Chains A and B, each alone.
Chain A
Amino acid sequence: LAKTTQPISMDSYEGQEVNITCSHNNIATNDYITWYQQFPSQGPRFIIQGYKTKVTNEVASLFIPADRKSSTLSLPRVSLSDTAVYYCLVGDMKGGSNYQLIWGAGTKLIIKP
C-alpha cells in the first residue's frame, strides 16, 4: 500500500519558483500521482497529474523520476494567491472494485511579498 509523505510547510517569496516534493516509496505499478490545491474552507482543486517523467500544464510542472518513488510539484513564479495547502495523491488501484486513494497530509505553502 502506497503511503505519501510531504513537508508540513514551506514559505517563499513572490516571483520565485517553488518545488514541493512528495515521497511515495511503495507506489504500485498502476498508480497515478496527482496534486491538488486547497484554500481555507473550500474543496481541493486539481492542479496536475502524471505517471512518469515530466508533465507540464499552464499552471505547474510535475517531475517524476524513473523509480517513481517521489514526485515534485513545481510552481513557477509564485504570487500571493498561491498561498494554500498542496496535497499529493497516489491512486492505488488494486483492481476492480477494491482500491484506495492515498492522500498526503498536505504542505502549507506561504508566499511572502
Chain B
Amino acid sequence: DGGITQSPKYLFRKEGQNVTLSCEQNLNHDAMYWYRQDPGQGLRLIYYSQIVNDFQKGDIAEGYSVSREKKESFPLTVTSAQKNPTAFYLCASSPIAGGRDEQFFGPGTRLTVL
C-alpha cells in the first residue's frame, strides 16, 4: 500500500530535550510538508521541501529543524528552543510543491511536553 507513515503516534518529552518525529512516504512524491495543529485550530506550515536536499521555512519554523537526505524521508526535530511544542504534528506529501496538487497526509504524531 502506498502512503505516508508517521511515528510514533504519541510522544512525550521533558522540557529542554530535543525530539525527532519521523515521516516516511512511498508515493514517490517530490514535495513534503510539516504542519502543526493546536486544539481547535487550523494547520500551520512549519517547513516544506520541494526536492531532496532542499527545504524552506514555513510560517512557524522557529524552534524546529528538518532534513531531506532521501526522497522518501522528511524528519522533523523539535528543539528545546521551541517554547510551546505540545501539539499535533502532521506530515504530508504531494507530487510537486504548491497549491495545485493534492496533499496526502500521515496519521499524525501527538507530542506532549511534560
Report if A103-B102 is in contact (Cβ < 8 Å); known contacts: A41-B88, A43-B92, A97-B56: no
Report if A32-B41 is in contact (Cβ < 8 Å); known contacts: A42-B108, A98-B56: no
B42 touching A90, Cβ below 8 Å: no
Q: Residues of B with Cβ closer than 8 Å to A?
A: 4, 33, 41-45, 50, 54, 56, 58-59, 88, 90, 92, 97-100, 102-108, 110
Give chain A nearest CB distance to B32 CB in angstroms: 13
Q: Does A31 contact B (CB under 8 A)?
A: yes
Give chain A nearest CB distance to B107 CB in angstroms: 6
**CB-nearest residue of chain B to A106:** B42
B107 touching A43, Cβ below 8 Å: yes
B100 touching A32, Cβ below 8 Å: yes
B99 touching A101, Cβ below 8 Å: yes
A44's partner among B45, B105, B110 (CB-CB below 8 A) is B105
A87 touching B42, Cβ below 8 Å: yes
Report if A46-B99 is in contact (Cβ < 8 Å); known contacts: A41-B88, A41-B110: no
Q: Does A62 contact B (CB under 8 A)?
A: no
Q: Does A13 contact B (CB under 8 A)?
A: no
**Chain A binding surface SS class:** strand
* A91 vs B42: C-alpha distance when bound (angstroms): 15
A46 touching B103, Cβ below 8 Å: yes
Report if A93-B99 is in contact (Cβ < 8 Å); known contacts: A41-B88, A41-B108: yes
List the 6 shortest-distance A-B pairs measured between CB atoms, nearest first.
A91-B99, A43-B105, A105-B42, A46-B102, A103-B43, A32-B99
* A43 vs B34: C-alpha distance when bound (angstroms): 12
B88 touching A105, Cβ below 8 Å: no
**CB-nearest residue of chain A to B104:** A46
Q: What B residues does A41 contact at CB under 8 A?
A: 88, 108, 110
* A74 vs B9: C-alpha distance when bound (angstroms): 33
Q: What B residues does A93 contact at CB under 8 A?
A: 98-100
B99 touching A31, Cβ below 8 Å: yes
Q: What A residues does B41 contact at CB under 8 A?
A: 105-106
Q: What A residues does B106 contact at CB under 8 A?
A: 43
A100 touching B43, Cβ below 8 Å: no
